Structure 1
Amino acid sequence: MEPTRHQDAAWATVVFAGVVAALHIWKLPAALPAIQADLGLSLVAAGLLLGMVQVAGMLAGLAVSLLSELAGARRCLLSGLALLFTGSLAGGLSATAGVLMASRVLEGAGFLLVTVLAPGLIRTHTPLRRLNLAVGVWSAYQGIATFVGLVATALALQVVSWETWWLVMAAVSLLPIPLVLRHVPPDAPPRPGTGRGRAAARRIAITVRSPNPWIAGTVFACYTVQWMAVVGFLPTVYQANGVTGIWPGVLSAVVGGLNAVGAILTAPLMQRGVPARVLLIGAFVSMGTTSLLTFAVPWQQVPGGAAFQFAAVALFSMTGAAIPTTLVRLAVDLAPEGGSAPAVMGLMQQIFNVGNFTGPAIAAALATATGGWGATWWMTCGFAAVGILLALLLSERRLGLKIAQR
């Protein structure tokens, strides 16, 4: 019993580190109107600021996987938390938009180190019979962080400036470190010899030549491009619709939190053997439909329309969670023979972070060109359709995988 408890503590600690890392993404949306006012940012520049934290993920996912092969996953996880501390501290002390954007890139590097390595650490330190549960909980980390980050930021900004809140969040970055040191087993000592780098690079090259991580990563990007754009700008959308005070942040937080609920609810479906393709296509159909209802209908002209719009965007977030949950579960087993599991996650991270980066910018450009948020569904429905087409290539038969627990 004791080893199982210790392993549960290990993966739970990794999930906690992921939530803390993602809080640095979701401290921004509720603070964005204040930052725009202070620094004079346009809507498109605000979209770039939302996506800037993903730059490191777009460029360095595979490099992080190589680093983990050489230095060890736990060491990289701890380094990521340290970078989050440094980036948030720099952001809190910044006086210009350029410095703030640079600090977001630094936070993005820390976020990348934590999240690329987390699925591999969970797989290594979780009993097989609990792996689907652990991966389901891990897949909820973004939704949990969205809820906590948006609510906490909305409340904090009632009493402190956004710069002070960035400094508080720098301190929060340090909280997982003692838990990681206590519960996550140390990395194996480096193997002697000078060929470790070449061997690691060879494993990564084998992984990159496999089509499956590319397909899975692109399907993931079709999800992130929608979710980051919609949820990232949701507080701004609510403010544009006349919602004031803490409510834009709170309502957006509930939408983000439901993503965590959806991720956790997907885990038992995977456990029962529901095919990955069914989960993915069903989620994309739901995201397309609910985003159409959210943005295409002039709810301001409908009695009680705000409640219907909120229900639609809440379903968008909750049902969409099946996509990252399913793909992360596939990713932990997706490395080809002789390949590297961290490289699979690193490559997927690079691809889906393109969606995270471009989604807010696309949504902001559409809103600027059309004079409102009503055209957002053009983007969401378009990427949902592409995701469905690519998901047809991700059947368990073609991948030789079963996501159900044996």
Structure 2
Amino acid sequence: MCFGERGQTCAPCADCANPEAARITAQIQLLVAVENPMLLESVTEPRCLRAVAAEAMGLGVPLGDNCGGSEPDPIIHGSRFNGMRPMRQADTSWVKVSVLIGAGAAVALHVGKVPAALPVLQSELGLSLVQSGWVVAIFSVVAACVAVFLGTVSDRFGHLPVAMAGMVLTALAGVAGALASSGNILLVTRVFEGFGFILTTTSIPPLIMKAASQSQRQASLALWGMYMPVGSGLMMALSAPLLYYFDWRILWWVASGLVLLAALPVYSVGARISDGSSLAAARPAIARTLKTALRRGPLLLSVTFAVYAGNYMVLAGFLPLLLVDLNGFSPMMAATASAVIVLFNALGNGISGWLHNYGLRYSTLIPIGCLGMAVGGGLVFAPELSGLWRMVAAAGFCGFAGLVPSSLFSEAPNRIPHPSFLATVSGLLVQGAAIGQLLMPPLAAAAVAWYGSWSAGITFMVIGSGFIAFCAFVLSRTADPVHA
């Protein structure tokens, strides 16, 4: 049984004329159509169905141990099937998944190194207030402009090579920043750090998919959401003691060194889970990946991520000011407390991954997270709250908030026709988050200034959390087209 364009059958070939082979290939056609209909659509000339099934298995389409029968198929799993290797479902390698998440956390160190060092940078390098703002915000600016396009680069040229290039670029730019003698030079190095950060964080999710078994891919991708709070929060917490004994450059050296250190196991893991031939066959054209990313489902994921990231940035950014203005904390104590509280977001992401492993989905977890964000965020902005309870409320907000990004990352593969599009959609999520981080804090500040009290933030938190839950509801009612 052979087929041509869009699965049309043609005259049987010698191999497929065998009745047993015809039965097996019919089963394979059904499985390929269900698991990867894009593959059938891509056929431009009559080909043996066995060849397409072989290509499907090379791309990771799980045809199973028996392809629908009760016994293992001798044609698929034996030498008669053109030397095709069995694709038995392997267990998830959590060590490999942890290594890949660690790579994301390593590049996220470069996000958390700046806030505590900013006063020293202003005095030593003569940074103006405007330059200081750009040094802090440049990652978000770069991501808001080009993240989805850098994701297409990863899908087109290979996830492992692009991830490695991103990590090396981040580390080298960090080294250059440590040697900077002026604010302008430091700002340029931050731009390159931003590009490396995005290349890395859009390329890692597809590698995590390859390292995870099919039944645990969503849980593994949910855990990927930990990378940002772990990396940035850890660096923020370590910044104060490091700056006490050393100058600001130590933060740049430490972050760059850890990225290079993390790159070695990432390369080893990536080389083991990547199949060069299947990757080459699966790489889509850039225009096609962009078309896939700009569908309703991925766009809704991005909008939801934008509002979440903006809401989170409002609370994380204003929390030190609230602790200083309303509770009398010293600036250093407020900054340290805020850094520790950020780590609760990593805990929320981890719990979300565990819950995904037991079958809970975004449609359940995001509303729960939004409820916690609304209550915790509202309490944080309550003027009469004590410092201790304000920190408890902030920790609760961050923990419940962790259910949101993890759920969005885990849902991304369900909105694409093939894993070869995942880096592009990850880039779209990163781009949405960056846009939210840039737009929502100024809006919240304007609301507080207009109202004349921090309590305006309560309304902002409740509305933002409600909108995230609404987006999740709309997403659950949105079905994306199957074909790319």
- Shorter chain as denominator, the TM-score bin is 0.7 to 0.9
Match of 2:365 in 1: 279
CA separation of 1:294 and 1:182: change in aligned 2, threshold 3 A: same
Letter in 1 for 2:94: D
Match of 2:478 in 1: 398
Match of 1:222 in 2: 307
Give SS of 2:474's match.
coil
Answer with 374-383 or 364-373: which moved more.
Answer: 364-373
In the TM superposition, 1:7-406 aligns within 5 A as 7-36=93-122, 39=126, 41-42=128-129, 46=132, 48-185=134-271, 187-189=274-276, 199-235=284-320, 237-239=322-324, 242-244=328-330, 247-299=333-385, 305-336=386-417, 340-363=421-444, 375-395=456-476, 398-399=478-479
Distance 1:225 1:27 in 2: 20
Aligned-residue CA RMSD (Å): 3.2
TM-score by length of 2: 0.71
Letter in 1 for 2:436: G
Q: Assess if the C-alpha contact under 8 Å between 2:92 and 2:212 holds in 1.
A: no
CA separation of 1:34 and 1:239: change in aligned 2, threshold 3 A: farther
Q: Assess if the C-alpha contact under 8 Å between 1:54 and 1:105 holds in 2.
A: no
Give, in angstroms, the shift of residue 13 of structure 1. 1.5
Answer with 317-326 or 338-347: which moved more.
Answer: 338-347
Match of 1:404 in 2: none
Distance 1:192 1:384 in 2: 39
Give, in angstroms, the shift of residue 162 of structure 1. 1.7
CA separation of 1:338 and 1:316: change in aligned 2, threshold 3 A: closer
Give, in angstroms, the shift of residue 201 of structure 1. 2.3
Distance 1:334 1:306 in 2: 43
Q: Kindly, what percent of the aligned residue pairs are identical?
A: 24
Distance 2:449 2:245 in 1: 31
Q: Assess if the C-alpha contact under 8 Å between 2:415 and 2:480 holds in 1.
A: no
Letter in 1 for 2:145: L
CA separation of 1:192 and 1:274: change in aligned 2, threshold 3 A: closer
Distance 1:190 1:387 in 2: 40
CA separation of 1:6 and 1:391: change in aligned 2, threshold 3 A: closer
Q: Assess if the C-alpha contact under 8 Å between 2:366 and 2:472 holds in 1.
A: yes
Q: Assess if the C-alpha contact under 8 Å between 2:147 and 2:428 holds in 1.
A: yes
CA separation of 1:136 and 1:6: change in aligned 2, threshold 3 A: closer
- 1:82-129 alpha-carbon deviations (Å, 9 max, x no partner): 121122223333344444333322211111111111111101121224
Q: Assess if the C-alpha contact under 8 Å between 1:153 and 1:165 holds in 2.
A: yes
CA separation of 1:106 and 1:373: change in aligned 2, threshold 3 A: farther
Distance 2:473 2:309 in 1: 18
Give, in angstroms, the shift of residue 231 of structure 1. 2.0
How many correspondences in the alignment?
Answer: 390
Letter in 1 for 2:217: L
Q: Assess if the C-alpha contact under 8 Å between 1:120 and 1:332 holds in 2.
A: no
Q: Assess if the C-alpha contact under 8 Å between 1:238 and 1:248 holds in 2.
A: yes
Letter in 1 for 2:401: G
Give SS of 2:398's match.
helix
- 1:150-182 alpha-carbon deviations (Å, 9 max, x no partner): 111121111122233223322222111211222
Give SS of 2:246's match.
coil
Q: Assess if the C-alpha contact under 8 Å between 2:117 and 2:239 holds in 1.
A: yes
Q: Assess if the C-alpha contact under 8 Å between 2:206 and 2:419 holds in 1.
A: no
CA separation of 1:339 and 1:261: change in aligned 2, threshold 3 A: closer
Gaps of 5+ in 2: 1-88
TM-score by length of 1: 0.84
Answer with 30-39 or 8-17: which moved more.
Answer: 30-39
Distance 2:182 2:456 in 1: 31
Give, in angstroms, the shift of residue 256 of structure 1. 1.0
Give, in angstroms, the shift of residue 6 of structure 1. 8.7
Distance 2:128 2:447 in 1: 17
Letter in 1 for 2:189: S
Distance 1:352 1:237 in 2: 24
Max radius of gyration: which structure? 2
Distance 1:367 1:152 in 2: 31
Give, in angstroms, the shift of residue 213 of structure 1. 0.3
Q: Which has the higher relative contact order, 1 or 2, with Cα contacts under 8 A spaced 6 or more apart? A: 1
CA separation of 1:339 and 1:191: change in aligned 2, threshold 3 A: closer
Letter in 1 for 2:315: V
CA separation of 1:201 and 1:165: change in aligned 2, threshold 3 A: closer
Distance 2:194 2:375 in 1: 31
Distance 1:360 1:37 in 2: 26
